[in-house]
Amino acid sequence: MSNFNPVKIVIVGCGMIAEGGYQPRCQAYPHKIELVGYYDQDIDRAELLAGKGGGKVYQSLDEVLNDPNVEAIINLTIHTGHYPVSLAGLKAGKHVYSEKPVALRVEEADEMVETADQMGVKFACAPVAMLGYVQQSVWERIRDDEIGEVVSAMGNFGGPLEYWHPNADLFMMEGVGPFKDVAPYPLTAMTTMIGPVKQVYGLARITIPERMLHAGSRAGNKYRVTEKDHGIGLLEFESGAYGLLYHSWTARSELPAYEIHGTKGCFSIQAHDDGRGIRKSTPTSGWESEDSPKEAYTGLDWGKGPSDFADAIRHDRPVRCSGKHARHVLEICERVFEAADKGVPVEVKSRFPAPIPVGDPPPWS
């Protein structure tokens, strides 16, 4: 650890997720990450984070990208900013870690993946949850054949967003919706543990065309919903396994957050958080609860992804949360909507390098 030179990183986009998630958790790994600065179109936000952790406040994205002291950026802009900001970073020769979704269109993700390869830089993307100790433990047990052949998985996430999120309208604009925003959590777990999806079926539509914000300074403002806010996706994996996705900004379901089913048993865990325990079912014992691994962080450790990213930069190895994997997840979401519109199954064409298990010691140690 003492021989590791921390990677100099700037956070671009200094809103809620930066202040409450990425900054404090990246600061928990100072031996891997050095947050050297912040940029936001609202300079006050950047100054707030700099005041909490030190570092330079940049006046523009160009200033960030032209600074030779900056090795990498973490892109925490709004959904529509993921593609242009990440692409600009990659073209400038910076390593880029993006919040999900990697982009709003598969063609945009293709361009970024190709640019990263051409420039010889690392391109990583959230979600980071699959690096949790619970998720890694269950994945290892699946590889060890504890539940036999995996035959299916299911994921569920969502609920009426406008009742608690002050900017819920941004999550319901064309190109976003619950599939591209929150489906990446169970989809990343499924495609890590099972492999790529080859075909999807979809049912999705706009259920509440006009909504009203109930939280934040704009509470009471009404807005139009321009993206499908409720849907179900059926997945056919290359392995022959099946998947089910339920994602909605309209109705909160009590379906399991994430289950994976095998011929000898099943696991049920959180796809979003680490440290929430493990439930396992077998034909003879039914469902039983287990404690999380003792090392688990309770919640979502936003810093693990950037720490792995930094370790991959220094050791010139593949990142575990790769842009290519995120592109596949994005394509699944896009194809579910296409299948819903056309009323027929749709092929998923992209593939990705199989993620590397974390192992011991973990890259953030």
Q: What is the pLDDT of residues 117-150, one digit of tens each?
A: 999 999 999 999 999 999 999 999 999 999 999 9
For residues 82 and 149, membership in a common domain is answered with no
The answer to whether residue 188 sits within a structural domain is yes
> What value does the mean pLDDT take over residues 162-183?
93
CATH number for the domain spanning 75: value is 3.40.50.720
Q: At what angle do helices 133-143 and 184-193 cross, to 10 degrees?
A: 30
Q: What is the pLDDT of residues 19-38, one digit of tens each?
A: 999 999 999 999 999 999 99
For residues 110 and 163, membership in a common domain is answered with no
The answer to whether residue 237 sits within a structural domain is yes
Q: Is 11 exposed, middle or buried (0-12, 13-18, 19+ CB in 10 A)?
A: buried
> What value does the mean pLDDT take over residues 66-77?
98
Those residues whose C-beta lies under 8 Å from the C-beta of residue 285, and which sit 6 or more positions away, are none
For residues 38 and 160, membership in a common domain is answered with no
Confidence (pLDDT) at 53: 86
Domain that holds residue 278: 130-301+327-347
pLDDT grade for 3, boundaries at 50, 70 and 90: confident
- Whether 59 shows a pLDDT value over 50: the answer reads yes
> What value does the mean pLDDT take over residues 246-256?
94
The answer to whether residue 356 sits within a structural domain is no
Q: What is the mean pLDDT of the chain?
A: 96
For residues 106 and 148, membership in a common domain is answered with no
The answer to whether residue 358 sits within a structural domain is no
Confidence (pLDDT) at 72: 98
> What value does the mean pLDDT take over residues 310-332?
98
Q: Is 1 exposed, middle or buried (0-12, 13-18, 19+ CB in 10 A)?
A: exposed
The number of distinct structural domains making up the chain is: 2
For residues 206 and 336, membership in a common domain is answered with yes
For residues 309 and 341, membership in a common domain is answered with no
CATH number for the domain spanning 337: value is 3.30.360.10
Percent of the chain with pLDDT over 70: 99
For residues 184 and 73, membership in a common domain is answered with no
CB 340 within 8 A of CB 356: no
Q: Which of 204, 97, 225 is nearest to 160 (CA)?
A: 225
The answer to whether residue 214 sits within a structural domain is yes
The answer to whether residue 242 sits within a structural domain is yes
- Whether 81 shows a pLDDT value over 70: the answer reads yes
For residues 151 and 253, membership in a common domain is answered with yes
Cα(154)–Cα(219) distance, integer angstroms:
34
For residues 227 and 341, membership in a common domain is answered with yes
The answer to whether residue 360 sits within a structural domain is no
Q: What is the pLDDT of residues 211-224, one digit of tens each?
A: 999 999 999 999 99
For residues 176 and 148, membership in a common domain is answered with yes
For residues 144 and 265, membership in a common domain is answered with yes
Q: What is the pLDDT of residues 325-351, one digit of tens each?
A: 999 999 999 999 999 999 999 999 999
Cα(45)–Cα(214) distance, integer angstroms:
23
> What value does the mean pLDDT take over residues 299-323?
97
Confidence (pLDDT) at 1: 45
User: What is the pTM (predicted TM-score) of this model?
Assistant: 0.96
For residues 145 and 264, membership in a common domain is answered with yes
The answer to whether residue 101 sits within a structural domain is yes
> What value does the mean pLDDT take over residues 48-61?
96
pLDDT grade for 82, boundaries at 50, 70 and 90: very high
Q: What is the pLDDT of residues 86-114, one digit of tens each?
A: 999 999 999 999 999 999 999 999 999 99
